[in-house]
Amino acid sequence: MTEQPVWTETDSRDFLDLAEIAVPARAEQTRALLDLIPAAPEEAFTVADLCAGEGLLCEAILSRFPRSHVVALDGSELMRTNAASRLAHFGDRARVLAFNLDADDWIDGLPSPVRCVLSSMALHHLEAERKRRLFRELAEKLEGGGALLVADIIATSSQSVRRSFATQWDELARDQSLAVVGSLNGYERATKEGWRPTWLVDKKDGEMPYPVFEQLKWLEEAGFALVDCFWLRAGHSIYGGYR
């Protein structure tokens, strides 16, 4: 039996410290996600962010789309506390709720209608069958024209591509460390604490990245009409589909 990964509050603390260093081009990814949301700037609509963390993406959505509402779901109390405080000034346009991604009970509770479901750096905790089922359930749940947008680590079957991704990650994480903390200490800590994409070399317990191409097929099977990889760098990708 595959051991289920357990995200701990220590992981949340480490991620809060290291994300700006360990996640490739985070601001660029956020801008790409915002551009991909299928809504006009002044439209009223609702999005759900699965494993929303400290609420940075939700904050960016609420700012870009002034009539939007977001539901930020996360299993970590520390993350929810951070998200709730970050999003408080948006009033009832933002809700921060506890959920367990591994359970089956939360999909029915998603807002309806929901225009867009997003998730960043989290769905790789789901194994293939569970993820395919999630894609099907979300395709049913989304409004016509709505989108599922996933930013996450991805796998590749080719050793040379893996090496290229690993080199890209090293270069970016070093640059980001210099920019964020003024030295390579952040990069070294990220590497030591396992945020380096070891999945590019060896599969790590609890992390189940799949190739983008395979996941695009799952999205198509699930009923998404337009599926694509929208961004890819250093073993991280933004991919998804529109209804």
- Rounded to a whole number of angstroms, the distance between the first and last alpha carbons of the chain is 34
Binding segment (CB under 6 A) for ligand SAM, from list 48-56, 152-160, 180-188, 196-204: 48-56
Smallest gap from Cβ 87 to ligand SAM, in A, equals 13
By CB under 6 A, residue 134 contacts ligand SAM: no
Whether 233 contacts 139, CB under 8 Å: no
Query: Which residue stretch of 72-80, 86-94, 131-139, 214-222 sits at the interface with ligand SAM (rule: CB under 6 A)?
Result: 72-80
Among 58-66, 97-105, 197-205, 208-216, which window interacts with ligand SAM (CB under 6 A)? Answer: 97-105
142 contacts 231 by C-beta, under 8 angstroms:
no
Given 15, 169, 187, 224, the residue binding ligand SAM (CB under 6 A): 15
Own/partner long-range contacts of 183-190 (Cβ < 8 Å, ≥24 apart): 186/18, 186/21, 187/21, 189/17, 189/18, 189/21, 190/18, 190/21, 190/22
Q: How far apart are CA 3 and CA 105, in angstroms?
A: 21
| CA gap 155, 144 in Å, rounded | 30
Tell me how far apart the alpha carbons of residues 223 and 137 are, in angstroms, rounded to a whole number.
10
Binding of ligand SAM at residue 152 (CB under 6 A)? Answer: no
Q: Which residues pair with 226 in a beta bridge?
A: 242
The two three-digit tokens of residue 81, written as one number: 């506390």
- Pick from 46, 47, 69, 76: which binds ligand SAM (CB under 6 A)? 76
Considering only residues 181 to 210 of the shown chain, the ones binding ligand SAM according to CB under 6 A are none
Pick 98 or 179: Cβ nearer ligand SAM: 98
Pairing of strands 236-242, 114-120: unpaired
- Of residues 145 and 206, the one with the C-beta less far from ligand SAM: 206
Element of type H or E holding 33: helix 26-36
Residue 79 contacts ligand SAM per CB under 6 A: yes
User: What whole-number distance in Å separates Cα of residue 111 and Cα of residue 124?
Assistant: 23
- Find the binder of ligand SAM among 18, 62, 74, 218 (CB under 6 A): 74
Q: Which is nearer to ligand SAM, 53 or 209 (CB)?
A: 53
Which listed range, 52-60, 142-150, 181-189, 197-205, lies at the site for ligand SAM (CB under 6 A)? Answer: 52-60
Residue among 51, 61, 70, 222 that touches ligand SAM (CB under 6 A):
51
Which residues of this chain interact with ligand SAM, rule CB under 6 A?
7, 12, 15, 19, 51-53, 56, 74-76, 79, 99-102, 120-122, 125
